[in-house]
Structure 1
Amino acid sequence: MPKVLVSDKLSETAVQIFRDRGVDVDYLPDVGKDKEKLAEIIGQYDGLAIRSATKVTAKLLEQATNLKVIGRAGIGVDNVEIPAASKKGVIVMNTPFGNSVTTAEHAIALMFAVARQLPEASASTHAGKWEKNRFMGVEVFNKTLGIIGAGNIGSIVIDRALGLRMKVLAYDPFLSEERALELGVKKVELDELLAKADFITLHVPLTDKTRNILSRENLAKTKKGVRIVNAARGGLIDEEALAELLKSGHVAGAALDVFATEPATDSPLFNLPNVVVTPHLGASTNEAQENVALQVAEQMADYLLTGAVQNALNMPSVTAEEAAVMGPWIKLAGHLGAFIGQMTDEPIKAINVLYDGVAAEMNLKALNAAVISGVMKATNPDVNMVSAPVMAAERGVQVATTTQGKGGIFDGYIKVTVVTESRERSIAGTVFSDGKPRFIQIRGINVDAEIGQHMLYTRNKDVPGVIGALGMTLGDLGVNIANFTLGRTKAGDDAIAILYLDEELKPEAIEALRATGKFLQVRPINFEI
């Protein structure tokens, strides 16, 4: 039974989901704040469910010897060192849709608050004042809203803004013209948005490309009297420059839910009369908190129990339906990679994968990850589908994928070719109707080889006596053959044999086979079955 630690405050209903699904769970909502205690116990768990309080560092991951998945209830994963998790083979998943509506609504609320100076007006009235003339606002109707980031949350804000009869400009490098038309917005470059927008709202993650996207230089390009809203991530705006432009009157108002440093106890934006601030409340509704908690519990349970991967940040997503159909093909991909990886002694320059027929219609990112994992296990048995692509990239291994329609007698197959400095080596396989993977071609020689945990590959010249020598030598050593497959290019030329054995071949058996002088190559191959 897989075991999960919930180290931050999460809904009791979410915790119960783990239990109902057959996952052992420890609910310790305060342990995420205790680095030493968390490091002490993390090795016990297969999964870690968190919010923002738990910091998953490379140092902590060193202690997480059994960890397979980290689930973040929410969108932001700033508190998880994803590259370190990937190297450890740990999947990191979030819940990008559970609080989308809530965050979008908060951005709209902030826009109204800064447009009508609602917080100041409320405080003034509570103080017994009646300063009706002091708080002169502006309408949002017919104003131009500039959206930076038209993804999941940004698109919801766009929908709400259009409902308010605003004109919407959108800057997003990944936004296609077709999608912009579908959303009902005009796609523009950033400079045009800055020059024309009456309100600007940000809905992008914090990355190297988006950090300080509203820099001092870009803020200076904005339309005089602009109002700026940020309910996305701190660090997207140069707060010092924004404060100066607010004081000068160039920026008429700002509303921020997020800050470069949080908790924000001090900021140049605090106590300015035309600024609305909230303490990172974008996802703080009962509905959103419940939704993301339930979603992360379901996702983690799905992965630990069925292998389904949803909303992963460092691994191709695989639905439960895909996992059921692709399971045998993922196994095949891993076996092909493992075979060729164990057969290759030189540094690998490239891995080329051909997908034919039904295989070409599947989730190729997941299949590629399985191939690369199989190859890399030959030199590092601890790698998996998460860490192997990272390792391959670090080593400069080029991975290329090709697809084609059904091209032979099989409904589909996968062919893997590894390129080294001196040669290429290839193997192909398919999945039969019984769901069992088979090798169907090695070195261009057609075979029909059942795959077992312990196998033996031999290569020889096609001459009489080789099969007898193989059987006699193994028989004398008490090695039982479960399955025996032969193949050759043509009579008298190269021939190969693939043997499925009942037990792992001992070194003395390998030496005995080589000592016969009958074989050009003798290689034991072992698989995870």
Structure 2
Amino acid sequence: MTPKVLISDKMDPKAAAIFRERGIEVDEKPGLGKDELKAIIRDYHGLAIRSATKVTADVLDAATSLKVVGRAGIGVDNVDIAAATARGVVVMNTPFGNSITTAEHAVALMFALARQLPEADASTQAGKWEKNRFMGVELTAKTLGLIGAGNIGSIVASRALGLKMKVVAFDPFLTPERALELGVEKVELDALLARADFITLHTPLTDQTRGILSREALARTKPGVRIINCARGGLIDEAALKEALDSGQVAGAALDVFETEPATASPLFGTPGFISTPHLGASTSEAQVNVAIQVAEQMSDFLLLGGVTNAINMPSLSAEEAPRLKPYMALAEKLGRLAGQVLGEEVRSVAVEVEGAAAELNPKPITGAVLAGLMGTYSQTVNMVNAPVLAKERGLDVREVRHDREGDYHTLVRVTVGTDAGERGVAGTLFGNKAPRLVEMFGVGVEAELAGAMLYIVNNDAPGFIGKLGTTLGEAGINIATFNLGRRDAGGEAVALVAVDGEVPAAVVEQLCGLEGVREVVPLRF
């Protein structure tokens, strides 16, 4: 099936051109209303957006074929990430396409605040010559406080250091090594507020960052501080900022983003020392082209090759890695599905071990495939995107183990599940580096292809059992496709994996359970 993508916001034409060059069908319909979007979204596998389209839970409910949402830009607060994840939809953004543009805008606003450029321009063009009114400050030797030292924040830091400023940064994810590399001093928020002459924000809007510059935080700032926000609206308490500007605690503020946008009215408008721009952080011709190209390439890689780049809700998987990982993910999904069908919802923990050639690969997609197979036995909507979230919700303890050793097989994936009764494991390999094969099941060596309808049977190893099994299935009109056997020791526990043509009725399963020596019969479907 040819993938189909909808571009629902105004985007550079190069995005649509890339989709078409890659063989993807694309429709460009910017400006759709919510109801219009809901009416047509079910036909699309990908949705490319900017900031105007709101991908809400009810839009996602209507998007029954949707696999990926690509945001041409950084912020994804117009996408319900939790709802997308629950529905197995990958959400991507393009965090690097407009980074320089946004960083430069923040630096431009910092200069504008320092030298009161908008007010001086308005005064001069009004025929006034108020040279003594506009006394600015130098940036040299001032302390810049970065709230958020990620991609954009690090670019701002570089520019500020070039201006001979001192840079301090608050970012819980900033390591001492990275701070040293950037040439900044890592500090706690209170220290930044107390020391910074200029504060610029470069953090996403989350429950932890919402209102990070609250009334209380603004009161702890260095008197006369100047504040710039080109990140997200809602990081600053705008009413409190107005009060701080009026009192002189804050000497100037420049906002490119507002809590409510479009910001057609704000208590800050008209306040002396306040500068505003209409969310122009990413508004350069270079940035518009860059993010459009990046989102189209990322979505195309995902829809055609399985590559996952800059995803918000699942680990990255490059387009180069995807072909190598694809057979391993198929093997992992089958192993998880096998364990899930046999053990049901008794699973309490999952350990995914890789060794040999498998140990050289990215383990996250393999683990995601195991979980998708495991929980796919009782959820029809589970996939690699939402499986880790569902596992966490169920309280599953998930572990990944990588072994450098190579055992009997050149590559091996082992899935060990913990239940109240103990741990049980299954293991598999790839034949010819592409064909998944089961090689061990619950401690018994069994070589089998996991495909179609199968029966998992545990019985006492005794003469005549295979004949009785075959007779029972034959009398029920069920043809055996393949028969795979294993046992712990002679006369002990034996395991059979029987591939059959078609589903096995419950009545026949009951007959099999009644055969002498049978301990367990579980119908399987792959």
TM-score range normalised by the length of the shorter chain: over 0.9
- Aligned to 2:228, the other structure's residue is in SS state strand
8 Å Cα contact 1:450/1:483 also seen in 2 = no
Q: Which amino acid aligns with 1:12?
A: P
Query: Partners in 2 of 1:158 and 1:258 — Cα distance?
Result: 20
More divergent stretch after superposition (396-405 vs 246-255): 396-405
1:9 corresponds in structure 2 to: 10
Q: Deviations over 1:155-181 (max 9, x none)?
A: 111111111111111111111111111
- After superposition, the Cα gap between the structure-2 partners of 1:425 and 1:381, relative to the gap in structure 1 and judged at 3 Å, is farther
Q: Deviations over 1:190-249 (max 9, x none)?
A: 121111111111111111111111111121121122111111111111222221121122
8 Å Cα contact 1:406/1:412 also seen in 2 = no
1:199 corresponds in structure 2 to: 198
- Aligned to 1:345, the other structure's residue is in SS state helix
Q: TM-score, normalised by structure 2?
A: 0.96
1:168 corresponds in structure 2 to: 167
Task: Report whether the alignment pairs 1:123 with 2:122.
Answer: yes
More divergent stretch after superposition (468-477 vs 115-124): 468-477
Task: Report whether the alignment pairs 1:230 with 2:229.
Answer: yes
2:29 corresponds in structure 1 to: 28
More divergent stretch after superposition (184-193 vs 399-408): 399-408
Query: Partners in 1 of 2:372 and 2:518 — Cα distance?
Result: 30
Query: Partners in 1 of 2:365 and 2:223 — Cα distance?
Result: 50
Q: TM-score, normalised by structure 1?
A: 0.96
- Aligned to 1:320, the other structure's residue is in SS state coil
Q: Which amino acid aligns with 1:523?
A: V
1:246 corresponds in structure 2 to: 245
2:108 corresponds in structure 1 to: 109
More divergent stretch after superposition (380-389 vs 283-292): 380-389
8 Å Cα contact 2:18/2:297 also seen in 1 = yes
2:298 corresponds in structure 1 to: 299
Residue 132 of structure 1 deviates from its aligned partner by: 1.4
8 Å Cα contact 1:346/1:420 also seen in 2 = no
1:524 corresponds in structure 2 to: 523
1:219 corresponds in structure 2 to: 218
List alignment gaps of at least 5 residues for structure 1: none
8 Å Cα contact 1:211/1:236 also seen in 2 = yes
8 Å Cα contact 2:97/2:287 also seen in 1 = yes
Residue 395 of structure 1 deviates from its aligned partner by: 2.2
Query: Partners in 2 of 1:434 and 1:113 — Cα distance?
Result: 60
Q: Equivalent residues in 2 for 1:26-425 (5 A)?
A: 26-31=27-32, 34-425=33-424
| Structure 1 residue ranges, 4+ long, deviating more than 6 angstroms after superposition | none
Q: Which amino acid aligns with 2:10?
A: K
- Aligned to 1:168, the other structure's residue is in SS state strand
- Aligned to 1:520, the other structure's residue is in SS state strand
Query: Partners in 2 of 1:514 and 1:211 — Cα distance?
Result: 59
Q: Deviations over 1:412-445 (max 9, x none)?
A: 3222122233343321112233411111111111
- Aligned to 1:106, the other structure's residue is in SS state helix
2:504 corresponds in structure 1 to: 505
> In angstroms, what is the RMSD of aligned CA positions?
1.6
2:20 corresponds in structure 1 to: 19
Query: Partners in 1 of 2:297 and 2:453 — Cα distance?
Result: 36
Q: Which amino acid aligns with 1:157?
A: V
Residue 516 of structure 1 deviates from its aligned partner by: 3.3
List alignment gaps of at least 5 residues for structure 2: none
Q: Deviations over 1:102-152 (max 9, x none)?
A: 000000000001111111111111112211111111111121111111100
Aligned sequence identity (%): 60
Q: Deviations over 1:362-403 (max 9, x none)?
A: 222221111111011111122111122222222222222223
Residue 411 of structure 1 deviates from its aligned partner by: 2.7
Q: Deviations over 1:20-73 (max 9, x none)?
A: 111111111111xx1111111111111111111111111111111111111111
Query: Partners in 2 of 1:381 and 1:239 — Cα distance?
Result: 45
8 Å Cα contact 1:9/1:29 also seen in 2 = yes
8 Å Cα contact 2:245/2:272 also seen in 1 = no
8 Å Cα contact 2:344/2:377 also seen in 1 = no
8 Å Cα contact 1:358/1:406 also seen in 2 = no
- Aligned to 2:61, the other structure's residue is in SS state helix
Q: Equivalent residues in 2 for 1:405-484 (5 A)?
A: 405-484=404-483
Residue 519 of structure 1 deviates from its aligned partner by: 2.3
- Aligned to 2:320, the other structure's residue is in SS state helix
